Amino acid sequence: MKLAFSTLGVPGLPLADVLGLATAHGYHGVELRTHPEEPVHPGLGPAERADAAARFNAAGVQIMGLAGYARVAAPGEDEPVLAEIRALLDLARDLGAPFVRVFPGGGAEQSPQEADATAARRLGTAAEYAADLDVRILLETHDSHRTGADAMRILGLVGHRQVGALWDVMHTWLGGEQPAESYAALSPHLGYVQVKDIASADDTTPLPLGAGVLPLADCVELLSRHGWDGWLCWEYEKRWYDAVPPLAELLGAGREHMTRLLTESA
């Protein structure tokens, strides 16, 4: 498996510094958060996109994925959501990123069936555009659809190879699923796996990998046993927790922890 980290852990950091951290600590790739406050986002022009891609290529670091914020199950008209996804897909094509992340984002005023149908309709439409660009759209296990079983209700309706799943191990665990259940639901569609650690279900403040309660060893062992050879991406949510230590101070130990899990599961 290949190791990456998300720039959510280093909000607003210039690309040169992001690449410096990745190469210094032995990470193969980076997931770029594409919010407008970040150096890479859909508002970039062609020259800026080409420069960003060239920087990563020169450093030998893969832009593993783009973390977007489109909410595919959200109430409202389809077109604004589809336009947001298309813009993200265009950016991924220009940067050479194989994946884009979207959220479910279903509303409390919807029934689960309505949210599933809305998300599946939008993802099915966007899938054809994604296929032309050779980029996959990944639905993260998050918010209204936090378990693998929840996500599969949508993905089963879509049934398109360009639409897959991003397994956030915290959300499936908070949703009451065991790793084996999550993997069984998501494995036919799995794009990559997002790892992190927290103190408890009641305290989701980010911790260094291995310092919390999430079943990371079980997840990695399960993936290894089934021969899965994709990306493990550490999402350290520094952006939302000012008081936690900087990710830069933790990246070396985090890579060592993930490497140790991979070695022990081999």
What average pLDDT does the segment 107-113 reach?
92
Q: Calculate what percentage of the chain has a pLDDT beyond 70.
A: 100
Report the largest interatomic distance among the alpha carbons of the chain, rounded to a whole angstrom. Answer: 48
Given a cut of 80, whether residue 40 has pLDDT beyond it is yes
What average pLDDT does the segment 40-51 reach?
97
Q: At what angle do helices 112-133 and 148-158 cross, to 10 degrees?
A: 60
User: To which H or E segment does residue 121 belong?
Assistant: helix 112-133
Cross-strand partners of 164: 138
pLDDT for res 108 = 87
What average pLDDT does the segment 247-266 reach?
94
What does the domain layout of the chain look like in residue ranges?
2-265
CATH numeric code, 2-265: 3.20.20.150
Confidence of residue 61 (pLDDT cuts 50, 70, 90): very high
Confidence of residue 266 (pLDDT cuts 50, 70, 90): confident
Q: Which of 97, 26, 29, 107 is nearest to 68 (CA)?
A: 97
pLDDT in tens, 126-148: 999 999 999 999 999 999 999 99
Q: What is the mean pLDDT of the chain?
A: 97
